[in-house]
Amino acid sequence: MTEDRLAQAPASFRAFVAERRDDGFRRAVQNLTPEALPAGDVLVRVEWSGVNYKDGLAARSDGKVARISPLIPGIDLAGEVVASDDPSFAAGDRVLASGYDLGVARHGGYSELARVPAAWVVRLPDGLSAREAMAIGTAGFTAAMSVEALEDRGLRAGAGPVLVTGASGGLGRLAIGFLAARGDEVWAASGKPE
Ligand SMILES: NC(=O)c1ccc[n+]([C@@H]2O[C@H](COP(=O)([O-])OP(=O)(O)OC[C@H]3O[C@@H](n4cnc5c(N)ncnc54)[C@H](OP(=O)(O)O)[C@@H]3O)[C@@H](O)[C@H]2O)c1
C-alpha cells in the first residue's frame, strides 16, 4: 500500500494479540501502528468480528490453528474501507471479509484496523449492517453454502423434510433457520437430551 494511502490510517490502533513467547503464551490488547499490519490492498476500519470456535483455538497455546506468532485472531471482520489500492474499493465502502488465512496465518478481525487482499473483500449488500453480517458470521456463511450446495443437487423448497444433524451447534442452528425461511419442514437431530 502506498505511503500516502497509509497516511489515511490512524496513527495507532488497538488489537487483541496472541503471542507464543519464551516465557509462555501471552494474550493482551495492544496498541499497534499500521506498519504492524501485513501487506494488502484494502485497509479496513473494523467495526465487528464474530466469535468462532477457531478464534478460541487461535488464542490458546494448545489450539494448533495459529500459523504465525504474534497473531491477531478473528477469522472474519466487517466495517468501512479507510483506503484501497484496488480500484474495486474506495474509502467509505462498507465491506466484510471472512475465512482464507484471516486470524490464523494472517492478522484478523480482533483489531480496530485490518489490511486484507482485495480478492478477500466483499461489499456489504444494502440492508445488511456490519453487525448483522458478523452475527450471521462465518458459521452462517458456511450453513448458507451448505443449503446452496443441496439446492444445486436438486433440493427444492418445501419438497420434503430436511434433516439437520449437529442441530444445536453454531452451523446447525443457522441452517435450521435458513431452511425454515425457505419453507422447508426441518427435522433437527441432536445428541443433547436437553
Ligand atoms: N463454524 C464455522 O464457521 C465453520 C466453518 C467451516 C466448517 N465448519 C465445520 O462445520 C461443523 C460444525 O461446526 P459448528 O461451528 O456448528 O460446530 P459446533 O458449534 O461445535 O457444533 C457441532 C455440533 O455437532 C454435534 N456433535 C458434536 N460432537 C459430535 C459427535 N461426536 N458426533 C455427532 N455429532 C456431534 C453437536 O450437536 P448436537 O449435540 O446437537 O448433536 C455440536 O453442537 C464442524 O465440523 C466445523 O469444523 C464450521
Domain ranges, ordered by start, for the chain: 3-123, 130-188
DSSP state of 167: T
Q: Hey, what's the cell of 100?
A: 482464507
- Residue 181 is predicted with a pLDDT of 95
Residue 9 has φ and ψ, to the nearest 5°, of -80, 155
- Residue 51 is predicted with a pLDDT of 94
> pLDDT tens-digit profile of 62-96?
999 999 999 999 999 999 999 999 999 999 999 99
Closest residue by CA, ligand 1 atom 36: 166
- Residue 43 is predicted with a pLDDT of 97
Best CA proximity match to 121, nearest among 77, 163, 153: 77
Distance 170 CA to ligand 1 centre (A): 7
pLDDT band at 7 (very low <50, low <70, confident <90, very high): confident
Q: Looking at the predicted structure, is the pLDDT value of residue 184 above 90?
A: yes
Q: Any idea which fold 3-123 has?
A: Quinone Oxidoreductase; Chain A, domain 1 (3.90.180)
Rounded to two decimals, the pTM is: 0.90
Distance 3 CA to ligand 1 centre (A): 44
Q: Looking at the predicted structure, is the pLDDT value of residue 159 above 80?
A: yes
Distance 168 CA to ligand 1 centre (A): 8
